[in-house]
Amino acid sequence: MSAAAASELGVVDEAQPLLAVDRLRVVIARSQAAVVDEASFTLDQGEVLGLVGESGSGKTTLALALLGHTRRGLEIGGGQVLFRGLDALSAGPELRGSQIAYVAQDPAAALNPTLRVGTLLREVLRADGRFQGAAVDERIAELLEEVRLVGVAGVLDALPHQLSGGQQQRVMLALAFARRPGLIVLDEPTTGLDVTTQRHVLDTVRTLCGQYHVGAVYVSHDLAVVAELADRVGVMYAGRLVELGPTGRVFRTPAHPYTRGLLRAIPSPTRAHVLAGLEGQPPRPGARPHGCSFTPRCEFALAECRAGEPAPAPVAGDAHWARCLRADTIVGLRPLAELPERERQPEDDGEPPLLEVNSLRAAYGERQVLTDVGFAVRPHRCLAIVGESGAGKTTLARCIAGLHSNWEGTIAMDGRPLSADRRGRGRELTRRMQYIFQNPYTSLNPRKTAEQLVEQPLRELMSLSRAERSERVSDALAEAALSDDYRGRYPDELSGGERQRVAIARALVLEPELLICDEVTSALDVSVQAAIVELLHRLQRTRGVTLLLITHNLALVRSLADDVLILRDGRIVEHGPDVLDQPKSEYATQLLANVPSLTPA
């Protein structure tokens, strides 16, 4: 029976799992080096499986392979994917279109920018013989209600760029669920969204999967999000599943040292503890060490670990297994309880503010973005500015940095009012205040090496000899935990975390007093994020740098910030050192309630 016929007749064998993956292998076409190897798991109807791991671990490659798809240069190298008993790897597009759906990470790139939302939905539905004529409009109305877009005026007539990021992602969910598939694959669908929008998207996914009994594979580097959504979690490292089991059990009592390391790198929304980033880098395909791939980074490694790749071994029954010779030892440890509390800076040391903002009003054209914003930041402290998307956080940071000049009010550094335009501030003030941008993939010139990128501010703003510049570059790279080996590398030869370290080194080379960090960890996985946070904290402690942290990650705020300022619609809602512990406004309370947790209620 064909996939289409099975779908139309509703033939479902209840005795078999919805999805069965057996020793799936994805390889580089030229070298046959494995990118994903020996991936085996099952998924039942209505179940959500989370796939977690660092960037490059193979999560997205595995998820795409479930649809029979690979990125350019890769190919399926072996194994089997059965969807309701049908071979999903050899099936035609009718199976993937009607029964297996995909939600991409970046809806702005995935949605056709020239087609209106209504047209996108109608195209998908008309490709299905079950929806014709009035049934199409009825299903669209039903979809808008299911993904919570009913109250958005003109949503069907809107082009994708006219919607917010959260609304675009809900359109993606509507397209994926439109034909009532049996399986949906979601690739980082909440990355970059604020906690409120993220909560709405997660609730929508959970509701739709439960309502339609849809199995879901949810790819993410955010373990707290997976903890709230997934029934089971698979942990990937170097292209292999190294641990698999019920989500609560895996996150409470991890059996693999890699899972333990990931958990220790996650900031807690309730406890300000020191973050422990994973040392070293995962191996690249074709360069995996003999034996267990995690051995070079593992604090529990034995000589036997290098002898061969450990086979999956049950930890607490068949439901939970790990590829580790010391799983029984590691499962008895408690990764989070061992981390020390973060020491807080004294609340008032009598020093005058380094930065003062008074009665700030900012606009884009006729649209008012900030209204009557005022605060002060004393030296050596970290102020976190948080809020939902569109609250005005980045606009505020750009006003302070002199990158947005349409504002009124006063911004002063050391009591000296700053010009609205950075060019009017002079070289010394520019040197003392540096900006680290959100996306290291676009903020670094791809035609310059790391050395040239870090040296450029010295050429522009300081009069130093060539030898002095070279020494400063080495010192700045070392401060950012990069060796001199990185001097000659171009951005495309670096990982995301390494690129962000180069961006930090470029700011540090001028020895600034104020660092403005605009969502500097939002594109990074948890282990790299932890390393960057600890780097910033060390700079604050050793160099006395003052930090202005723009973020929507409230858990991260607790690990780094001394004071918190919450913005909503361009106005200050709350400000103080105890905002996260004792919120006074309903808005702040709701923001905190929306933060995902490894131990959800």
Kindly write down the DSSP assignment for every residue of 75-108, as one continuous string: EEEEEEEEETTEETTT--HHHHHHTEEEE-S-HH
| Residue that terminates a domain, selected from 282, 300, 335 | 335
Domain boundary among 295, 310, 335: 335
Q: Residue 101 and residue 227: Cα distance in Å, rounded? A: 22
* Distances 93 to 216, 319, 494 between C-alpha atoms, Å: 19, 33, 36
* 500 found inside a domain: yes
Residues 322 and 276 in one domain: yes
- The answer on pLDDT for 108 being more than 90 is no
Shared domain for 419 and 566, answered yes or no, is yes
Q: Whole-angstrom Cα distance, residue 591 to residue 601?
A: 16
Q: What is the pLDDT of residue 414?
A: 92
**Same domain as 401, residue 448:** no
| pLDDT at site 106 | 78
CATH number at 509 reads 3.40.50.300
- Residue 247, in any domain of the structure: no
What's the pLDDT at 1? 34
Residues 270, 417, single domain; the answer is no
Please count the other Cβ atoms lying within 10 Å of the Cβ belonging to residue 448.
Answer: 15
Distance between CA 543 and CA 490 in Å, rounded? 28
Residue 512 to residues 191, 417, 484, 561, 566: CA-CA distances in angstroms? Answer: 30, 18, 22, 19, 25
The widest CA-to-CA distance across the chain, in whole angstroms, is 79
CA distance linking residue 473 with residue 180, whole number of Å: 56
450 and 540, same domain (yes or no):
yes
Looking at mean pLDDT, say which of 75-84, 127-136, 308-317, 387-396 comes out highest. 75-84
pLDDT at 90: 85
CA dist 466 → 80, 153, 448, 518 (Å): 59, 59, 17, 31
Residues 534 and 457 grouped into a single domain = yes
Q: Which residues of 130-167 are buried (b: 16+ CB within 10 A; e: fewer)?
A: ebeeeebeebbeebbebbbbeebeebbebebeebebbb
Domain membership flag for residue 266: yes
The answer, yes or no, to whether residue 119 has pLDDT greater than 80, is yes
> Residue type at 463?
S
Is 373 a domain residue?
yes
Q: What is the pLDDT of residues 577-591, one digit of tens each?
A: 989 889 999 999 999
The interaxial angle of helices 195-212 and 586-593, nearest 10 deg, is 50
**pLDDT at residue 566 is higher than 70:** yes
DSSP, res 35: E
- 268 in any annotated domain: yes
The string of pLDDT tens digits covering residues 212-242 is 899 999 999 889 899 999 999 999 999 999 9
More confident residue, 495 or 329: 329
Burial of residue 467, with CB atoms counted within 10 A of its CB: 0-12 exposed, 13-18 middle, 19 or more buried? exposed
Tell me what percent of the residues of the chain surpass a pLDDT of 90. Answer: 50
pLDDT given for residue 345 in this prediction: 64
* Domain boundary pick from 305, 335, 365: 335
Mean of pLDDT values over 5-30: 72
**pLDDT(488) > 90:** yes
Identify the weakest region by mean pLDDT among 9-13, 41-45, 306-310. Answer: 9-13
What is the token pair recorded at 481? 């935990």
Examine residue 578 and state whether it is found in any structural domain, yes or no.
yes
Q: Are residues 492 and 445 in the same domain?
A: yes
Mean pLDDT of 27-36: 92
Same domain as 532, residue 459: yes
Mean pLDDT of 196-202: 84
**Are 268 and 295 found together in one domain?**
yes
Q: Helix, strand, coil: what percent of the chain each, to 5?
A: 35, 20, 40
CB atoms within 10 A of CB 350: 6
pLDDT of 93: 67
Strand partners, 257: none
| Mean per-residue pLDDT, 18-22 | 95
Is 378 a residue whose pLDDT tops 80? yes
Residues above pLDDT 70, as percent of the chain: 94
Confidence band of 337 (pLDDT split at 50, 70, 90): low
Say whether both 323 and 380 belong to one domain. no
Which of the two residues, 251 and 281, has the higher pLDDT score?
251
Q: What average pLDDT is seen over the chain?
A: 87
Domain count, the chain: 3
Burial of 409 (0-12, 13-18, 19+ CB in 10 A): middle
Instruction: Return the amino acid letter for 561.
Output: A
Q: Are residues 448 and 527 in the same domain?
A: yes
Residue 119 lies in a domain: no
Residue 423 DSSP one-character state: G
Q: What is the per-residue pLDDT for 348? A: 59
Which pLDDT value is given to residue 77?
94
Check residue 6 and give its pLDDT.
Answer: 39
- Name the nearest CA neighbour of 479 among 435, 541, 560: 541
Q: Same domain, yes or no, for 447 and 499? A: yes
Question: Worst-scoring range by mean pLDDT, 14-28, 133-147, 325-339, 420-434?
Answer: 325-339
Q: Would residue 394 count as lying in a domain?
A: yes
| Residue 565 confidence class, pLDDT cut points 50, 70, 90 | very high
Domain that holds residue 449: 425-432+440-513+523-545
Query: Which tops the pLDDT comparison, 347 or 56?
Result: 56
Q: What is the pLDDT of residue 347?
A: 62
